[in-house]
Structure 1
Amino acid sequence: MSRETIPVTVLSGNLGAGKTTVLNSLLQARTDLDIAVLVNDMGEVNVDAERVAEHSDISGEDEDLIELSNGCICCELRGDLLDALAKLARTREFDQLVIESTGVAEPLPVAQTLTMGFDQSDLDPTEFYEETGVEVMDYYELDTTVTVVDAHQFWTAFDSTESLMDGDTKKELGTLLVEQIEFCDVLLLNKCDLVDEATLDEIEEMIGVLQPRAEIIRTEHGAVDPDEILGTGRFDFEAASQSAGWLQELREPHASAEEEHGVTSFVFESRWPFHPERFADLLDEFPTSVVRSKGHFWLAGREETALGVDVAGQSIRIAPAGEWIAALPADEREATLEANPELAEVWDEQWGDRGTRLVLIGTEMDHEEIHEALDAATLTDDEMAADWTAFEDRFPRFELEPEDEPVENETSAEEVGLAD
């Protein structure tokens, strides 16, 4: 076959959002293209693959349809995914590849696998790769990432703390929905026929804040123009990995004036640490109007390590966010400051770079009230001079190795149930 790379479209989305319906519609609409399909399903029997075979010209025995079952391509089956794609590329010629991931898959690690191949420290080459030396990305190029969202169930899923199982890993439905929205080039807002116009506008407003760079397309019954998601050339990993709404807000926070549908955001900053008891109490009763929040904070008594908070719907997670530069050995600290002269603008003579910066996104938020609650959770003048070790600290403890780097979706993050 030609060594010209084959464009790949990845379909993500929660269970029941309509990914398979979109895929079937796609296959029926673009009969002029030879489209290969890979369908991932968590069960031992790949039901989605059977449905694709039933509703398209691709049969269950067709080499253009590959099934990956009993696991998820964002974790356990990454090696199997690359093996399958390498075998497909060597034995078949086709114009496009569409990958439908399981409903519990996070799109970012799938994109990493498709862009980095086996060049990942945590992914061991499989026997096929070792025997052939075939590097998948010699044949493929990730072209478009697509997330399908169920408009009818959007707010229910968004606020859900229901746990989904991905192997031995529990994922909350609301958190997973946010992660799928935040990493996509095109978002298909499906089942729009079941939702009124005002609700659709509200959903689009929230999606636009969470993922400002994605094109939002309203669909019914999964019907979409194939040109909107095939061969678009929209994928840019560097942009995609930094595209979440909260990251944009941290870089360039916009005015907090009320938006048309009540979706607003603001940034809370403080150079004083949070009181561990009061901040824990605040998180236990965090305002339900805040639907997304992320950033780092300084907790009194934790002067070595910054902590990160991740709020998605009803889920609140705490994870280490790296060492404070001020806590580094003197030679490392000076080298870091020399290499990053912009830090001088925020450097405090006593506390260095320690501080808090959180972005909060929500619906009908009372910015002043929430800001005051956060401010009240920081130390007072008297407490700044007190013994911080005397404060009760119910936050999880983490051991951050010196060589560790803070990573997105840190696996050691702990769910916050601080009152328990």
Structure 2
Amino acid sequence: MSDDAIPVTVLSGSLGAGKTTVLNHVLTADHGLEVAVVVNDMGEVNVDAEHVAQQTDLDGDEEIVELSNGCICCRLRGDMLEEVGRLAERREFEYLLVESSGISEPIPVAQTFTLGFEDADFDPTGTYELDTMVTVVDAFSFWESFDAGGALTSGQLTAEAGRVPEEVLVDQIEFCDVLVLNKCDLVPDDALEEIEAVLERLQPQATLVRTEFGDVDPGEILGTGRFDFATARQSAGWKHELQHDHHHDPLEEHGVTSFVYERDRPFHPERIASLLPHLPDELIRAKGFFWSAGREDVAMGLDKAGTSVRAGPAGEWLATLPEATREQYFAVRPGLEEDWDEEWGDRLTRLVFIGREFDADALIDRLDDCLLTDAELADDWERYPDPFEPQDRRELALSNE
């Protein structure tokens, strides 16, 4: 790598694998690097970028760029290059970390940084140098949906695997330098060994790292120098991409669509807790934060991937912070003030649902039924029990099983 080039790590992985959690761990670790971040989300609201911004120290060295409502492997390739070109002009960072969407294909992203993109004005090849391609794999979902990967290796992907875009998952596993096997705490040791055997069969050259809660050593994915352009360009997938214009519509190609549920009225805690274990089977992913009446001190987070559903305290509302700290957030993210309520501040619900051919209208109606009624709004919310405590049991309590 040339001394002047900015190294790049690209994080890929299926919906809900834990890419954003890995990203947050890296950003808050003491690695001595000034990092710029690009976060891509297929939804119209980039919840992942909001979560990264909330978890990152405002006084740190990170700059976060959001790319929403599309994938950086196709529709947003030009937008991504425009943004990384703008970052390069300022050159106030030493490393670029890119989190792609859950259905982004890694090869086109790698080609964008190594070959450029004809529809973009900025040529990244003289400024950036691809350092590491990382794929985050959800060990629990892999074990549960694919019976330790047997369907993947046989090429017979079953209907049960329909919650994950299977072809993309295979591409992500086969084209990477580092495989981060996340959520290992949810899988028995013997099953983990089987999963690792399958992953090594699919991608024998990759370094395999086990993690829990996305807690990865930054040295495993930053500055590794493991990406080999000469080797990558010999892969069948790479050559295919060069010979065919890459474009995919998430709904048409993978049957995946999404919508954002946003309300400024709190949920009744018991009703929303009763609903969450029974979300539609067609949902691949649900994520975001919500307002639970009686817990105005914290924002509740929702994280569903496959049959695993987690819900519970996920951070502070800005309204609970000192005024000086709030002003810092407003300065960094001016859009936050637009949704500010005089009484409740930033308390609201914003959830992204991603799935295959599910009835969005029916789900919206069910969610609306969980909101406080007008009569309940005038009630004493403090008397409502909190079903999301104790925190260490919140996944067990909301399990689909």
TM-score by length of 2: 0.53
Q: Secondary structure at the match of 1:10?
A: strand
- CA distance in 1 between counterparts of 2:26 and 2:184 reads 18
Structure 2 counterpart of 1:183, from 163, 171, 175: 175
Deviation at 1:56, TM superposition (A): 1.1
2:188 corresponds to which residue? Answer: 196
Q: Secondary structure at the match of 1:152?
A: helix
- CA distance in 2 between counterparts of 1:182 and 1:72 reads 19
1:205 corresponds to which residue? Answer: 197
1:234 corresponds to which residue? Answer: 226
Unaligned runs of 5+ in 1: 165-171, 248-314, 316-420
Q: Deviations over 1:336-376 (max 9, x none)?
A: xxxxxxxxxxxxxxxxxxxxxxxxxxxxxxxxxxxxxxxxx
TM-aligned CA distance change 1:81 to 1:58, over 3 Å: farther
1:219 corresponds to which residue? Answer: 211
Q: Secondary structure at the match of 1:153?
A: helix
Structure 1 counterpart of 2:119, from 117, 120, 124: 124
2:357 corresponds to which residue? Answer: none
- CA distance in 2 between counterparts of 1:243 and 1:30 reads 36
1:41 corresponds to which residue? Answer: 41
- CA distance in 2 between counterparts of 1:49 and 1:71 reads 14
TM-aligned CA distance change 1:214 to 1:237, over 3 Å: same
2:86 corresponds to which residue? Answer: 87
Deviation at 1:160, TM superposition (A): 5.0
TM-aligned CA distance change 1:52 to 1:211, over 3 Å: same
The structure with the greater share of residues assigned to helix is: 2
Q: Deviations over 1:390-412 (max 9, x none)?
A: xxxxxxxxxxxxxxxxxxxxxxx
Deviation at 1:63, TM superposition (A): 7.7
Alignment of 1:18-37 (within 5 A): 18-30=18-30, 32-37=32-37
Alpha-carbon contact 1:58-1:65 (below 8 Å) kept: no
- CA distance in 2 between counterparts of 1:163 and 1:209 reads 22
Deviation at 1:140, TM superposition (A): 0.6
Deviation at 1:238, TM superposition (A): 3.0
Which one-letter code corresponds to 1:192 in the other structure?
Answer: C
Alignment of 1:49-88 (within 5 A): 49-58=49-58, 64-88=63-87
TM-aligned CA distance change 1:58 to 1:233, over 3 Å: farther
Q: Deviations over 1:26-84 (max 9, x none)?
A: 00113521110000001111110000001112589x98110011110001001111111
2:105 corresponds to which residue? Answer: 106
Alpha-carbon contact 1:59-1:65 (below 8 Å) kept: no
Q: Deviations over 1:103-160 (max 9, x none)?
A: 0001011101111113xxxx423xxx2xxxx422221100000000000000416545
Alpha-carbon contact 1:79-1:124 (below 8 Å) kept: yes
How many correspondences in the alignment? 227
Q: Deviations over 1:84-112 (max 9, x none)?
A: 10001002321111000000001011101
Matched, 1:151 2:139: yes
Q: Secondary structure at the match of 1:224?
A: coil
TM-aligned CA distance change 1:197 to 1:242, over 3 Å: farther
Which one-letter code corresponds to 2:216 in the other structure?
Answer: V
Alpha-carbon contact 1:148-1:187 (below 8 Å) kept: yes
Which one-letter code corresponds to 1:233 in the other structure?
Answer: G
Deviation at 1:163, TM superposition (A): 5.9
Who wins on radius of gyration, i.e. which is larger? 1
1:302 corresponds to which residue? Answer: none
Identity %: 59
Alpha-carbon contact 2:37-2:96 (below 8 Å) kept: yes
**Higher RCO, Cα 8 Å, sep 6+:** 2
1:96 corresponds to which residue? Answer: 95
Which one-letter code corresponds to 2:184 in the other structure?
Answer: C
Deviation at 1:180, TM superposition (A): 0.6
Alignment of 1:245-394 (within 5 A): none
TM-aligned CA distance change 1:30 to 1:97, over 3 Å: farther
